[in-house]
Structure 1
Amino acid sequence: MKKLIPETFTEYQFISSPLLSPDGQYTAFVAQTMDMENNCYIGKLYVIDTKGGTPRQMSEKDIKHFIWTPDGTLMYSQPAGEKDAPKMAYFTIDPATGAESCAQTISTMGGLPTFTEDGRWIIPGQVILQEKNPRYTEIRELPYWSDGRGFTCGKRNALYLVNPERDEAELITPRHFQVMGTDYQDGTLLYIGNEYTDCVEFRKGVYIYDVKTGQTSCVVQPGIFDIFHANLLDKDTAIIRGAKKEDSAYSEGFFYRVDLKDGACTKISDYDKKSEFCCIVGDVMLGLGQPNKAHDGKLYFVTVDGEYSYIRSIDRDGNLSPALTMDGVTNFFDINDHGLVFYGYRGDRLGELYVLEQDGAERELTRLNDAVLEQYHIAERIPISFTDADDVEIRGWVMPPAGYEPGKKYPAILNIHGGPRGTWGAEFNHEMQVWANAGYFVLFCNPRGSAGRGDAFADLNLGMGNVDYDNFMAFVDHCLAKWPDIDEKRLGVAGGSYGGYMVNWIIGHTDRFAAASSQRSISNWVSMDGLSDMGYYANGLQFGGFLDTHAEHLWDISPLKYAHNAVTPTIFLQSEGDYRCPMEQALQMYAVLKRKGVESKVILFKGESHGLSREGQPQNRLTRMHEILDWMNRHLQ
């Protein structure tokens, strides 16, 4: 079989957005492929009969987002009009015949609509509060930028009620309101977010807009919950998932029932595993879908439990039920009266679409990537676990190198996930397969602080850099004992985001690694305070305090404080447009290592954000993988 290499990922098809037609006959989805010549992704809209068959491409256009209309046609939108008079054109496609037409053109620039019962549309758009100056950027709000969006000063995500026939639009959220999520049912629009003019309160409010009367009411006041999602069970009831001020800073929140008539908020479950989205770390998912949806009096949601993710449901009284029971990774889904479809990973395969049968069995709906992986060696993931000093089980995996021969020594790479409330799980990972195919043992585990095992496990309790570091070092020791063919003199370590933080921390605390790759990293919590798009509140919540009150503590848990101890050759990879972990974090570490004469270099990617390894431009993603692999080869092979 062929060895899997960085370029192999250009052959994958990335599936997203599975949506059932209103009658359940069809499942529509987007499949994206890489256009390496133009350095972009091309999305194609497909429809497949939900009972089975071959996917049919619906349009030659690049389509990445779509919806079903109430009458069972597909709809997507594209910008239209002139530069000085922009418009949005909305196109429809008949799923049976593929016939395509322009259904409507409106002057309001926005996204795809939610349809009201009286023929109007609710569309997401923007409000611009201050004019953009070509010579300078005026900052008078906090936060002032957002990763992947750039400077956000004077901009708000908003909602408009549109009469498409008359091309009339009414702003239905306050001008200074930032919309962070919506749901709609039977004339009731629920939205979450905050109104602000100076500094946003990250604990959001929940609001109800009555389409018939045009009246808005606040049912959950801002400042109480950090709300992860809110869904309408019916016109009188919502379920929210949120964490209160008194909850742990690392809490995934709990489920609450909200009476929309009087705002009464009742906790209905102590379930403490993530339900906002699947946080199992991977690099072969592109595009999004629904991680939660209310249906037939229940809220269905994707949740991470250990190394797997499932779909579960909760009713108004807090009763939890499993919808999917097979081990694997599920990212998003759709459900209606006619069935449930989902996107997920099973075994050592790339993501595909599946249908949940009435008897609970899963039926594969697509096989777009099977022919690709059948050509390549896929390294086995072998579970390995140990008990840490606090008598807590730490779980991980070892992937032996391609062509592994017992008795022969091999280098190894320890890979550290982001978060820290991410988690490694049962999901195909292209880059780690590349390393195994290149002759490395690949080691990875979920230390304390990871998601999937409840709030107590995730809560580092100001122990970042201590309990997690101890877990990683003990895990490496355990792997060396179980796999004596790992050469302890040829160990590498790699990680991004929180993983980059840990790489920076590790090289300042041990010399056991012969090479390191620190990506989109954190080195200095002092300078992160107020600079990161999360730093204006996250430092105080999760990392022990703010610069003006806890500078000494923030410095104590900063890898930069210990960088003078480092001797490990290190490559830093950072994006110039990363506003989550800005590039100065890597440059500060690099400067210390260079002054000490430690071999190191920095790769700064232009036009990229924090998510380079997952949704960055194809050419940059390929360069990133080659830079890391070349660095490891030079120092470990």
Structure 2
Amino acid sequence: MKAEQLPLLNSVSAPTVHPDASRAVVSVTRPDLDADAYVGQLWSIPFDSSQLPRRITRGFRDTAPAFSPDGRVLAFLRATAEGKPQLHIVEAAGGEPQAITEQKLGVTEFSWAPDSARIVFASRLPEEGRYGTVDGVGPGSEDARLVSSNQYRMNGVGYTQDKAVQLFVVEVPELGGEPAVTPAGRAAKDLKDEEVPGAKGIPAVVQITSGDVDHTGAVFSSDGRSVYFVAAGHEGHDADIASYIYKVPAAGGDAVLVPSGAEPQSVHAVRESRDGRHLFFTAQELGPRGLDFVARNTALYVMPAAGGEARVLSDVEQQDLSGTLEPDGPDAVLVLNSHRGSVELLKWAADGGSEVLLHGERVVLGAAAAADVVAVSFADASSHGDLGVLERGELRLLSDFSARLRNESTVREPHGFIADGADGYPVHGWLVLPDGPGPHPVLLNIHGGPFAQYSGTFFDEAQVYAEAGYAVLMCNPRGSAGYGQEHGSAIREAMGTVDMADVLAFLDGALAAFPALDSEAVGIMGGSYGGYLTAWTIAHEHRFKAAIVERGFLDPVSFTGSSDIGWFFGGEYTGGTLEQMLAQSPMAVVSKVRTPTLVIHSENDLRCPVEQGQRYFAALKAQGVESALLLFPGEDHELSRSGTPHHRKQRFEQILAWWAEKLPTAAA
């Protein structure tokens, strides 16, 4: 794959399955270089293999499809080239979509009521006078903000307390009805402004939450009378990262806390069973201070919906769960589990019974069930995203959205292997080889997180570098997710110790196992925590021809006051004293660096603020190390994953230009 082939990357959403179990609908989106944006539509995929998938909408960007429980209506989010996502509905059999929201800052998520007559949705509600609510008052002319809290902004969002996520309920209009017409001319002359109906026939909405905290993950109760959601509405919420389950009447009223456990928790998702007897939720335990998040796996819990003690269902030490808790049957849910570089699909019943529905060398992106059918969206080594259906424990493929990717570019399969560390610890990872016999220059890649994982599925970065003639190494050292909490917590207050030892052991193991690798031509690179470990490693190891430090966590001291998560993140990982921070700080050992280094950062990065990269670059320059600083305007911490297509392409071009100079190949 080449940088200019980014538009071939079709991403597939979690599916929604029609209640009659005949078909699923997914959104398929891709980067578009002409629009410099992400575009895509909804696709209907029949389970009958004699019928082909077909595109069923033609919006600029249509996402998040969901069938109504009665199967008559399909709801989804639609965004125009210049606008925010708004909630739309269309007849499930086909027709013209109708917008049913007109939120100033758009809609972020939604969920159907069991009666198929209402939808609860989430939207950021802007404070009056901000975010375009007053004509002529732009961002630079808004009133000053007086900040007195830790949690007042978020990467990719900006300020949060003046536009908290609120929940709204909207009645779904009859799709067969006559569209609303706005009075004009003589009919409108004598009407007061508040009497003029909306030009687009947008129905009224009822706001059911308030306050300056976000309200997310909203779902109706099985009887449709209440809405469950997740929020940090507890006293002292600004001093911890806990969040809890709340319940509010669907018609509006006071929200009440649903007690879910003794210790502070960070609740991720909640769902009542279809039979109304049980409440499932996923959460991380955070210790007595509500801040102990390091390498904490997310567990699945169940409790009586009427109230009672919550029981943990999953293996907290070994299983790290995610997903939206899709119902499967009257008292069971589907959930995803990160496991050794893959993401599995599991099913859990309220009585504790569980089964692995799908595992292997793939990443499950989402799943949904109807009747006895389970549809699964996934990625693997040869697909960036596709849909299949489970049959007798096997996955039958229903789509091929990566066909052009394979036909028009070269997709190389990762080779998985395990290297033994100096202390005997096994380090699991992958090698992606370029064409030809070698010897190939080597790029050692380090992932972010650190509690995250590489997988053996299609990864655009590895494919682009391999196309340019580089052997790409990726591993999950201690500190990574997917291998248990002990593996993940090994670097707490010890960053740059066993994690550096593991990535170097993996490099040495690969060089010994694969003769096609050139041990004299090795580069190192990584982003976020990967930027941290790259910067730390080149201060202690001088074997690399060059390095790339991207959006790095480079100075725990200044990170504390500049990052959106700086008030807790660095201290929990490095320890909170100045001595501990300096002992694990790349900035504190930057004087030892001799390796030519390209520093990449985004100007709007609030997670690892741009000052981290700027100061690191300035220190390298001051001591005469060959270095360069690549800055991207308008981008945040997610540039490499969801930045504008033009900037993502340019980033690849600049990275390849750096490696072509420092580690030349015939292809580069």
Judge same fold: TM > 0.5, yes or no.
Answer: yes
> Does the 8 Å contact 1:256/1:269 carry over to 2?
yes
Out of 123, 126, 144, the residue aligned to residue 125 of structure 1 is 123
Measure, in 2, the Cα distance between the counterparts of 1:276 and 1:158: 26
* SS, match of residue 463 in structure 2: helix
Post-superposition CA distance 1:164-216 (Å, at most 9, x none): 66944333223234213223332242111112798263111111224379563
Q: Which residue does 2:542 correspond to in 1? A: 511
Say yes or no: does 1:13 pair with 2:25: no
Q: Which residue does 2:375 correspond to in 1? A: 341
> Does the 8 Å contact 1:126/1:155 carry over to 2?
yes
Q: Which residue does 1:269 correspond to in 2? A: 314
The structure-2 alpha-carbon separation of the partners of 1:373 and 1:229, relative to structure 1 and needing over 3 Å to count, comes to same
The structure-2 alpha-carbon separation of the partners of 1:122 and 1:526, relative to structure 1 and needing over 3 Å to count, comes to same
Q: Which residue does 2:138 correspond to in 1? A: none
Measure, in 2, the Cα distance between the counterparts of 1:601 and 1:505: 18
The structure-2 alpha-carbon separation of the partners of 1:491 and 1:35, relative to structure 1 and needing over 3 Å to count, comes to same
Name the count of aligned residue pairs. Answer: 609
> Does the 8 Å contact 1:228/1:276 carry over to 2?
no
Return the offset for 1:532.
1.4
Q: Which residue does 1:492 correspond to in 2? A: 523
Q: Which residue does 1:73 correspond to in 2? A: 73
Say yes or no: does 1:194 pair with 2:194: no
Which of 215-224 and 415-424 deviates more?
215-224
Q: Which residue does 1:240 correspond to in 2? A: 281
> Does the 8 Å contact 1:107/1:167 carry over to 2?
no
Post-superposition CA distance 1:25-48 (Å, at most 9, x none): 221111123321221121112112
> Does the 8 Å contact 1:413/1:440 carry over to 2?
yes
Instruction: Give % identity.
Output: 26
Say yes or no: does 1:99 pair with 2:133: no
Q: Which residue does 2:256 correspond to in 1? A: 217
Q: Which residue does 1:527 correspond to in 2? A: 558
Long gaps (5+) in structure 1: 278-289
Return the offset for 1:78.
5.2
Which of 327-336 and 576-585 deviates more?
327-336
1:255-334 matched pairs, under 5 angstroms: 255-273=300-318, 275-277=320-322, 291-296=324-329, 297-334=331-368
Return the offset for 1:154.
2.2
> Does the 8 Å contact 2:554/2:613 carry over to 1?
yes
The structure-2 alpha-carbon separation of the partners of 1:249 and 1:484, relative to structure 1 and needing over 3 Å to count, comes to same
TM-score normalised by the chain length of structure 1: 0.89
> Does the 8 Å contact 1:87/1:105 carry over to 2?
no
* SS, match of residue 238 in structure 2: coil
* SS, match of residue 63 in structure 2: coil
The structure-2 alpha-carbon separation of the partners of 1:432 and 1:269, relative to structure 1 and needing over 3 Å to count, comes to closer
The structure-2 alpha-carbon separation of the partners of 1:134 and 1:214, relative to structure 1 and needing over 3 Å to count, comes to closer
The structure-2 alpha-carbon separation of the partners of 1:327 and 1:170, relative to structure 1 and needing over 3 Å to count, comes to same
> Does the 8 Å contact 1:106/1:164 carry over to 2?
no
* SS, match of residue 396 in structure 1: strand
Q: Which residue does 2:486 correspond to in 1? A: 456
The structure-2 alpha-carbon separation of the partners of 1:106 and 1:36, relative to structure 1 and needing over 3 Å to count, comes to closer
> Does the 8 Å contact 2:412/2:433 carry over to 1?
yes
Q: Which residue does 1:467 correspond to in 2? A: 498
Return the offset for 1:91.
4.0
Say yes or no: does 1:551 pair with 2:563: no
Measure, in 2, the Cα distance between the counterparts of 1:593 and 1:612: 24
Measure, in 2, the Cα distance between the counterparts of 1:87 and 1:243: 32
Return the offset for 1:310.
1.0
Which of 198-207 and 619-628 deviates more?
198-207
Measure, in 1, the Cα distance between the counterparts of 2:566 and 2:415: 37
Measure, in 1, the Cα distance between the counterparts of 2:516 and 2:99: 64
Measure, in 2, the Cα distance between the counterparts of 1:109 and 1:438: 41
Post-superposition CA distance 1:103-128 (Å, at most 9, x none): 74667875365343563432212334
1:46-445 matched pairs, under 5 angstroms: 46-52=43-49, 53-62=51-60, 63-69=62-68, 70-77=70-77, 91-96=88-93, 98-102=94-98, 104=100, 111=107, 113-117=110-114, 119-129=117-127, 131-132=129-130, 134=142, 136-163=144-171, 167-186=203-222, 187=224, 188-195=226-233, 199=238, 201-211=240-250, 214=253, 216-220=255-259, 224-233=264-273, 234-246=275-287, 249-273=294-318, 275-277=320-322, 291-296=324-329, 297-357=331-391, 359-405=392-438, 409-445=439-475
> Does the 8 Å contact 2:526/2:549 carry over to 1?
yes
Q: Which residue does 2:639 correspond to in 1? A: 612
Return the offset for 1:467.
0.7
Post-superposition CA distance 1:53-82 (Å, at most 9, x none): 2222222221233332334332335589xx
RMSD: 2.8
Which of 588-597 and 293-302 deviates more?
293-302
The structure-2 alpha-carbon separation of the partners of 1:264 and 1:402, relative to structure 1 and needing over 3 Å to count, comes to same
Return the offset for 1:151.
1.7
> Does the 8 Å contact 2:121/2:167 carry over to 1?
yes
Which of 381-390 and 514-523 deviates more?
381-390
The structure-2 alpha-carbon separation of the partners of 1:127 and 1:140, relative to structure 1 and needing over 3 Å to count, comes to farther
> Does the 8 Å contact 2:284/2:296 carry over to 1?
yes
The structure-2 alpha-carbon separation of the partners of 1:197 and 1:170, relative to structure 1 and needing over 3 Å to count, comes to farther
Report the AA paired with residue 64 of structure 1.
Answer: T
Which of 52-61 and 248-257 deviates more?
248-257
Measure, in 1, the Cα distance between the counterparts of 2:99 and 2:27: 21
TM-score normalised by the chain length of structure 2: 0.85
Which of 468-477 and 322-331 deviates more?
322-331
Report the AA paired with residue 156 of structure 1.
Answer: A
The structure-2 alpha-carbon separation of the partners of 1:592 and 1:274, relative to structure 1 and needing over 3 Å to count, comes to farther
* SS, match of residue 621 in structure 2: helix
Measure, in 1, the Cα distance between the counterparts of 2:570 and 2:518: 38
> Does the 8 Å contact 1:88/1:108 carry over to 2?
no
Measure, in 2, the Cα distance between the counterparts of 1:331 and 1:107: 28
> Does the 8 Å contact 1:508/1:562 carry over to 2?
yes
Q: Which residue does 2:189 correspond to in 1? A: none
Measure, in 2, the Cα distance between the counterparts of 1:385 and 1:147: 35
Out of 567, 577, 580, the residue aligned to residue 536 of structure 1 is 567
Measure, in 2, the Cα distance between the counterparts of 1:470 and 1:169: 56
Return the offset for 1:396.
1.8
> Does the 8 Å contact 2:168/2:205 carry over to 1?
yes
The structure-2 alpha-carbon separation of the partners of 1:19 and 1:501, relative to structure 1 and needing over 3 Å to count, comes to same
Return the offset for 1:476.
1.7
Long gaps (5+) in structure 2: 131-140, 174-201
Measure, in 2, the Cα distance between the counterparts of 1:468 and 1:485: 26
* SS, match of residue 66 in structure 1: strand
> Does the 8 Å contact 1:14/1:33 carry over to 2?
yes
